[in-house]
A = this chain, B = another copy of it.
């Protein structure tokens, strides 16, 4: 019932590093609009942008003992992903755990629950994406699992998957698809860079992406007089 899996494949560091410059929206589109965690999981400060290999932690509601267990399993480049068995917005993550994680090279925490000591976490710039900010404390009575498949904020996350997080939210990419999705993401970013120039120069997406004919076929009608509207 309380298991720590110690042997599993992480996504390679070189792949993780290339993800770090790519936005969550881009990655989400690159894998066909999948993998996005529910938008209730928000960063505790603006401007953080990380990518890491998931260490998954299931916790009992209101109990952070399993997070203490998980710290030992973390390596540089990891991201801790925490989800309670049942909804609970207590503050499972605070200053002390953040310092311990930072000392081990962990890039951040994703938690579908509460975080506290946020004033300090902002000062030490340890990024946490949480569904609540809440000082309410936890107990240490009931253990969950570390590095087992985990549903967090509506997405299935396996240990070793890529997790990317920025101000838009959090997206997960399955480890075996990490390389392919990365290439699609980069290609998409390149394509958008070209488009961005044209839009900034005043061109319209209707023209750049040839939408006019398609929309006309769908019945789009331009009226000079509102009185003609149906």
Q: A2-B219, A7-B224, A151-B154 are in contact. List 18 more A-B contacts (CB 8 A).
A: A3-B222, A4-B223, A33-B137, A34-B85, A39-B136, A42-B133, A49-B119, A60-B139, A61-B136, A62-B86, A96-B195, A96-B199, A99-B196, A100-B199, A119-B167, A143-B218, A151-B151, A156-B156
Shortest CB-to-CB span from A150 to chain B, Å, is: 9
Shortest CB-to-CB span from A192 to chain B, Å, is: 6
A220 CB contact (under 8 Å) in B2, B34, B117, B224: B2
- Judge whether A25 is part of the interface by a CB distance below 8 angstroms: yes
Q: List residues of A (20-74) whose CB comes within 8 Å of B's CBs.
A: 23-25, 28-29, 32-34, 36, 38-39, 42, 46-47, 49, 60-62, 65, 68-69, 71-72
Is the Cβ of B39 less than 8 Å from the Cβ of A226?
Answer: no
Is the Cβ of A229 less than 8 Å from the Cβ of B133?
Answer: no
> What are the interface flags for A161-200 relative to B under an 8 Å C-beta threshold, 1 for contact and 0 otherwise?
0000011110100000000000000000000100110011
A219 to B222, CA, bound (A): 34
A2 to B32, CA, bound (A): 11
A168 CB contact (under 8 Å) in B3, B6, B46, B118: B118
